[in-house]
Amino acid sequence: MTFLPRASALAAVLILGGAVLSGCADDAPDRPSGADFLPAPTTTATPADEGCGDVAAAVTKHLNSDDVDKVTVEGQCTTVVVGTVLADEDTATGQQLCDAAGEVAYTGDINSVRVLSKAGTELSNGITGMKCLP
């Protein structure tokens, strides 16, 4: 009876095992990745006519500013988002718009206001009963 040295036997097992495994991989069906189980991305913006009342219109009218680009309601009618044409550095104007929006925004389930720059950077945010923060 002939015995192979331990290293040679291990090498033979690894080579044969690798050949068997690689041969199976080509015949295996495609398996879904983890990303296939995730829900498709969606926007959280809720148009004013879908159950949030006329809060966005009221805020737009109240602000009456050329700096305001668009007012939307997000979440489950909980956050008013004021999109602006302001630069990322213009946090003082963003804070003023946020405070002004808060004067009429906090109705129903609305409990926060966010003001965004043209690039989408948050300039200011506020919650019910508090002054907005930059």
pLDDT digits (tens, 9 = 90+) for 65-99: 999 999 999 999 999 999 999 999 999 999 999 99
Measured CA to CA, the distance from residue 39 to residue 20 in angstroms comes to 36
pLDDT of residue 15: 58
11: pLDDT strictly greater than 80: no
Arithmetic mean of pLDDT, 10-15? 54
pLDDT of residue 53: 87
pLDDT digits (tens, 9 = 90+) for 94-122: 999 999 999 999 999 999 999 999 999 99
46: pLDDT strictly greater than 50: no
pTM beyond 0.75: the answer is no
Q: Within a 13 Å sphere around the CA of 90, how many CA atoms are in the beta-carbon half? A: 18
Decide if 115 contacts 70 (C-beta within 8 A).
no
Closest CA to 60 of 77, 43, 84: 84
